[in-house]
Amino acid sequence: MDKLGVKLDKSNRVVCSPNDQSSVSNIYAIGDINSGKPQLTPVAIQAGRYLARRLYTGSTELTDYVNVATTVFTPLEYGAIGMSEEDAIAKYGKENIDVYHSHFNPLEWALPHRDDNVCYAKLVCNKADNERVVGFHVIGPNAGEITQGYAVALKMGATKADFDRTIGIHPTCSETFTTLHVTKSSGVTAKVTGC
């Protein structure tokens, strides 16, 4: 790649423009080799489709690499969209970030008396932008399914008020995101103590 003049980052991934074009005009990079992009199969598939459309059909649509939903499929899944709390603070400033969070207990865990306060929901909101949700995080059963459902909302610029106005389906783990009211800055515990 060096001999061709393709610019690489420290990890030997190809540095690209927003249209996935490398520093050499007729070389494009998609998927895990594209520097700074999520290393996820669905991201590579979509980037490939969009690149093919741009090259062969005259499309100008670019892959949107912002707020890509992802899940870690462990026995208790972790799902995320957008920024971590730390990244949001670094980008927008601590004074502009509110973090709403809560532990929750899935109904199906009530009878077997599984551990309380293991599941967790968190929204990272930018106060300077009408409390736009810039980060979504969940640990719990089926977190991937929950996360996928909220991915469109974050892509559309959902705010905390949008989540608050939504009537949740009861009893579901996902409804926790429609009732979050405790902020980390309040110092109030996020632990669940009863119904």
Query: What is the set of active-site residues?
Result: 170
Burial (CB count <10 Å: 0-12, 13-18, 19+), residue 2? exposed
DSSP of 44-88, one letter per residue? HHHHHHHHHHHHHT---PPP--SS--EEE-SSSEEEEEE--HHHH
Task: Count CB atoms within 10 A of the CB of residue 158.
Answer: 19
